Amino acid sequence: MAHEENGHDHDHDHSHAEIGQTERPGYYDNLETVVRELLVSKGYFGPDEIRRQIEVLDSRTPALGAMVVARAWADDAFRKRLLDDGRAACEELGITFYDQTGLIVLENTDKVHNLIVCTLCSCYPRPVLGLPPDWYKLKPYRARAVSEPRKVLAEFGTIIPDDVEIRVSDSTAMVRFLVLPKRPEGTEDFDEVQLAAIVTRDTMIGVVEASKDIRRGE
Amino acid sequence: MTQTEQLLKRLPNDIGGTSADPISVVDHELEPWERRCHALADVLDFHKIINTEEKRRGVEALGTELVGKLSYYERWIACFANILFQKGILTPEELALKMKEVESRWDDFDKESTQAARS
């Protein structure tokens, strides 16, 4: 949001989010402005809080989750702490949780493949991955991930052998999940930075497996 | 199950395990107002005005037809307004008056841009 306000003083009541906009906002865009400005004028929160929270949201990308996964791959003691208490281990790496959600990290192994979903809506480990992609929030994924995960995975090009169990974890308002993908073969010589580079968002949702040849785009 | 039975037993969000289309791997860059709406949701939660569960129930209370027709963040802002009415934090009248004012800001904007185009 390069055109959000920069914290300078102003005495007019336009939100700077509107500046730079070249056409009339739609009804729901205006409705957001209406609700926000009414609540600010009634003192429920400060005029700067939305902008600050947008900055927090913008600071969260899958690079954070990738850093966590890479550390777990490289450091077995950290991996154990991460599986024991996901939130505390992430906080160890300086990742703050801006909400009250817990985090459970699910480890993929040769016997188990994990997949995360939110059937009711869109709960997602936002502090470590940012906002979820649209497909995660739409009906086909939410409806089918829990009843036919192998078929769903196949639609992402991921074929899980029949002797590997698939576990699907359904997120809630308070408990979020993150998949710890399997470290791919051929990465024995990689350092943590190189490891983090191959951890994509989708590997941490569990719809694809990590590969040493696929790098995360930001 | 008859169609009304289905509607009664499953709220609009309760779709886990139902049949649906193949996955279409779609995404979009959030619009500025969608980003503001997401931040607003977080701030409402931080201040214990509307929490995540209330938001989900509020979306369900919009009913199947609206849930089906509104986009993701349209559902959120619509449910925030309704919940704030229910809690007595806002009134429909205040909202309508403020909406007129916010919309009128763009009357000036349109005039200015018309004048700018003429000069």
Q: Predicted ipTM? A: 0.89
Fold of A63-205: Nitrile Hydratase; Chain A (3.90.330)
Q: For position A10, what pLDDT does the model report?
A: 44
Calculated CA dihedral for residues A72, A77, A78, A84, nearest 10 degrees? 100
Averaged pLDDT, A115-126:
95
Mean pLDDT, residues A203-218: 92
Nearest CB partner across the interface for B77, out of A31, A134, A174: A31
CB contacts, 8 Å: A31 with chain B: 77-78, 81, 99
How many Cβ contacts (< 8 angstroms) between chains A and B?
A: 159
Look at residue B49 and tell me if it is in a domain.
yes
**Same-domain check for residues B36 and B80:** yes
Same domain, yes or no: B55 and B101: no
Which is it for strands A112-117 and A102-107: parallel, antiparallel or unpaired? Answer: unpaired
The CATH 3.90.330.10 portion of chain A extends over 63-205
Structural domain count of chain B: 2
Least confident window among A4-8, A70-74, A201-205: A4-8
Judge: A42–B16 Cβ closer than 8 Å, yes or no. no
In this predicted structure, the answer to whether residue A36 has a pLDDT above a threshold of 50 is: yes
* pLDDT-wise least confident of A9-18, A28-37, A175-184, B11-20: A9-18
- Answer yes or no: do B39 and B57 share one domain: yes
Chain B CA closest to residue A146: B17
**Distance, CA of A28 to CA of A46 (rounded, Å):** 22
pLDDT 10s digits, A44-56: 999 999 999 999 9
Please report whether residue B80 resides in a domain: yes
Confidence at residue A138, expressed as pLDDT on a 0 to 100 scale = 95
Residue A83, SS3 per DSSP? helix
What are the pLDDT digits (tens) for A98-109? Answer: 888 999 999 999
- Position B8 in a domain: no
Q: Which of B16, B105, B109 lies at the smallest CB-CB distance from A142?
A: B16
As to burial, measured by CB atoms within 10 angstroms (0-12 exposed, 13-18 middle, 19+ buried), residue A26 is exposed
pLDDT interval class at B114 (50, 70, 90): low
pLDDT digits (tens, 9 = 90+) for A124-169: 999 999 999 999 999 999 999 999 999 999 999 999 999 999 999 9
B25 within a domain of the structure (yes/no) = no
Q: Is residue B65 part of a domain?
A: yes
Mean pLDDT, rounded, for A23-27: 91
Q: Do B38 and B65 fall within a single domain?
A: yes
Range of the domain at B41: 32-88
Asked if B99 and A99 come within 8 Å (Cβ–Cβ), the reply is: no
